């Protein structure tokens, strides 16, 4: 089980970008983004009677904890599932521009094998100059890539989409 701090920049990068400099630079498609909701599914516990728990903590505009939403499952019969929208006036309820490192939410005690669905509204950038970039160890010019939502730890990787890891 792990915890992940998710920022506005990580969310926007996870929405994809195109390789603009071979093996070094991916340029984001978006110039701005806004989080709609986060949905989490986790598998049922392997052992009967074992508990599994996950929680999302929302942040306010000064990166203080605002509130939490979570779910738990007991035993091996039912998987865990919850869907959470950012509270009004939370950092997650606002539009963010390029390279904004504001904390949006934290996923706490995410069980192994979980699926995290992040639903985002975004604005395509008019030019690549203002959209922000991220590094890539191996990438081909003109191809689209989607990095892990958690950044460099590469634990929350996209399912069925090309990554550079």
Query: Is there a domain that residue 153 lies in?
Result: no
Rg (CA), the chain: 17
- Quote the pLDDT of residue 16: 86
Q: How many domains is the chain built from?
A: 1
Query: Is there a domain that residue 93 lies in?
Result: yes
Handedness of CA 57, 102, 30, 27 (dihedral sign): negative
Query: Is there a domain that residue 43 lies in?
Result: yes
Class of residue 165 by CB neighbours under 10 A (exposed 0-12, middle 13-18, buried 19+)? exposed
Greater model confidence, 76 or 9: 9
What average pLDDT does the segment 68-77 reach? Answer: 75
> How does residue 29 score in pLDDT terms, banded at 50, 70 and 90?
confident
**Helix residue ranges, H only, the chain:** 8-14
Handedness of CA 57, 110, 39, 37 (dihedral sign): positive
Is the separation of the CB atoms in 20 and 141 below 8 Å? yes
> How does residue 39 score in pLDDT terms, banded at 50, 70 and 90?
very high
Continuous segment of H or E residues that includes residue 8? helix 8-14
> How does residue 128 score in pLDDT terms, banded at 50, 70 and 90?
low
Name the residue range of residue 41's domain: 2-15+33-122
Query: Is there a domain that residue 99 lies in?
Result: yes
What average pLDDT does the segment 111-120 reach? Answer: 88
- Quote the pLDDT of residue 165: 57
Greater model confidence, 107 or 50: 107
Q: Is residue 142's pLDDT more than 80?
A: yes
Lowest mean pLDDT among 24-38, 45-59, 103-117, 124-138: 124-138
- Quote the pLDDT of residue 24: 83
d(CA 128, CA 30): 9
What average pLDDT does the segment 56-80 reach? Answer: 82
pTM equals 0.83
């Amino acid at each position: 089980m792990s915890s992940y701090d998710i920022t506005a920049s990580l969310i926007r990068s996870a929405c994809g970008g195109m390789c603009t400099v071979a093996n070094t630079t991916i340029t984001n498609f978006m110039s701005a983004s806004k989080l709609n909701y986060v949905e989490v599914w986790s598998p049922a516990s392997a052992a009967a009677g074992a508990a599994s728990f996950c929680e999302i903590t929302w942040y306010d505009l000064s990166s203080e904890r605002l509130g939490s939403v979570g779910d738990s499952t007991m035993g091996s019969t039912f998987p865990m599932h919850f869907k959470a929208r950012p509270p009004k006036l939370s950092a997650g309820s606002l539009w963010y521009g390029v390279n904004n490192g504001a904390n949006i939410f934290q996923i706490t005690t995410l069980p192994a094998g979980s699926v995290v669905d992040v639903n985002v509204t975004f604005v395509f950038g008019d030019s690549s100059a203002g959209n922000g970039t991220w590094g890539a160890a191996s990438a081909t010019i003109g191809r689209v890539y989607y990095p892990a939502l958690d950044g460099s730890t590469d634990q929350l990787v996209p399912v069925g989409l090309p990554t550079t890891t």
